[in-house]
A = this chain, B = another copy of it.
Amino acid sequence: MDMPKPDDSVLGRKVRIVRRLQAALGDKGVIHDPVELRVYECDALTAYKCPPLCAVLPRSTEEVAAVMTVCFEESVPVVPRGAGTSLAGGSLPTADSVVLGVARMNEVLETDYDNRFIRVQAGRTNLSVTAAVEEHGFFYAPDPSSQLACAISGNIAMNSGGAHCLKYGVTTNNLMGVKMVMANGEVVEIGGAHLDAGGLDLLGLICGSEGQLGIVTEATLRILASPEGAWPVLIGFDSNEVAGACVSDIIKSGILPVAIEFMDRPCIRATEAFAGAGYPDCEALLIIEVEGSEGEINDQLSRIIQIARRHDPVEIRESGSSEESARIWLGRKSAFGAMGQINDYMCLDGTIPVSALPYVLKRIGEMSTQYGLGVGNVFHAGDGNMHPLILFDANKPGDLEKCEAFGADILRLCVEVGGCLTGEHGVGVEKRDLMEVQYSASDLEAQMSVKDVFDPGWILNPAKVFPLALTASRRAEGGLE
């Protein structure tokens, strides 16, 4: 019997793939109109854009499995997308890929206050996880700045942190289990409502793997009892070095504030012009927040202030009311917006040992002069996670390239002082070619061999994380292109 011959022209293949996906999800689940597709051509790293072959919006694990089965059979690359808030290009498509968006997967599946967990579909936004449990007196701790918009699936992919992670840890410390669709469409469950796991820690491996190993469709998350109260104090200093030394002394004393945020003069200036929070005119300021019962809060604040006094602060601003507390946070929370008002900027994300802070800030200042581009520093100081904002003019030819070179130099500096290329944004497209600064060829080979196990066809989130040349040769070896 004669089988109809498959149409293997590029267009024929594209039409076939879209038809198969429509058969799996219905017409409304597949977006292939070029105008509608523009939403999916980039994420928050808007400097890079590429429209995909099509985008799909499944509603359940079963539908994700149906999509993966089609893509696996057709060897189509799949780009998983949470809310598209990645600053590292984590969900940037390639032209031959299907973007798999989880925006319609946002249900709460189970809440269990006795065992302190919530199970959600992975497309649910970070803040709405807390919203689902807060009237019972609970919250979900990791709180990236984008928490209003970003999805739990993206938090898991990038192992996201946030201001509160000094005390509560990052996503990997608050994730108990996942349901995941493998590259071939098979559905697996990893971890659950219990501590630890027998055998290899595959849950830890999945968290932070940037969509390279599978598509997470459901997550079991640890929820915590909301503290009785929280109270900030703002402390201004004459120099970055002294502010850094104060951070180090607070941590050494055994106090664990819930947040220690650091802003330098360029950031303070921009923020004041924009939000008028009334910050002191100084070189560096810390916003330190503590949590607990009234007794605990008073005890911790008084010890922090005592330590700060030893560092000759320009100003110690205690809060007397919740209005004053909100005012202390106002400038910090507007910092990124304020910098965006006065300039285009690129937000970096590197991690360093806390004691290297003064040296790294000094070197960034020197490089800023050398490149002729301004930098503002605003970051989570307690855990050494830096976010330098490099200012540039997108309309000035050559400025973006200079900015990229400057950014790469800062990240090389982070590795040089014993730190790491990334803290919470991931590698994505942005830092893939810097991975060789941190890792040897055999380190990268080990990481890529682990990906081979989960995704032998290298169809999951292509051209990310690993240096482009290595990914290309991996795909070529497998006869993939």
Contact = CB atoms under 8 A, between A and B. Distances in A.
Contacts of A208: 196-197, 200-201
A266 interface: no
Contacts of A352: 194
B303 A198 contact: no
Contact of A354 (B115, B205, B224, B435): B115
A228 to B, nearest CB: 7
A113 interface: yes
A337 interface: no
Contact of A195 (B205, B420, B435, B450): B420
Interface string A138-182: 000000000000000000000100000000011011000000000
A354 B114 contact: yes
Given A225-B254, A354-B114, A159 B452 contact: no
Contacts of A112: 353, 355
Given A205-B204, A296-B296, A446-B454, A115 B355 contact: yes
Nearest to A299: B295
Interface string A220-257: 00001111100000000000000000001001111000
Interface stretch (A366-374, A387-395, A423-431): A423-431
Given A114-B355, A204-B204, A224 B446 contact: no
30 contacts: A169-B173, A170-B195, A172-B201, A172-B204, A173-B173, A194-B351, A194-B352, A194-B384, A196-B385, A196-B423, A196-B424, A197-B208, A198-B421, A198-B431, A200-B209, A201-B205, A201-B208, A202-B447, A202-B450, A204-B205, A225-B253, A228-B254, A292-B296, A293-B303, A295-B299, A296-B296, A296-B299, A446-B454, A450-B453, A452-B453
A188 B354 contact: no
Interface stretch (A100-108, A277-285, A318-326, A436-444): A436-444
A449 interface: yes
A412 to B, nearest CB: 13
Interface of A: 112-117, 137, 159, 169-170, 172-173, 186, 188, 190, 192-202, 204-205, 207-209, 212-213, 224-228, 248, 251-254, 292-293, 295-296, 298-300, 303, 351-356, 383-385, 414, 418-424, 427, 431, 435, 438-440, 442-444, 446-447, 449-454, 465-466
A315 B112 CA distance: 30
A353 B439 CA distance: 39
A269 B300 CA distance: 41
Given A115-B354, A194-B353, A194-B384, 10 more contacts: A169-B173, A170-B196, A194-B418, A194-B419, A194-B420, A199-B466, A200-B213, A225-B252, A295-B296, A296-B300
B225 A439 contact: no
Contacts of A447: 199-200, 202
A254 B224 contact: yes
A422 B196 contact: yes
A294 B205 CA distance: 41
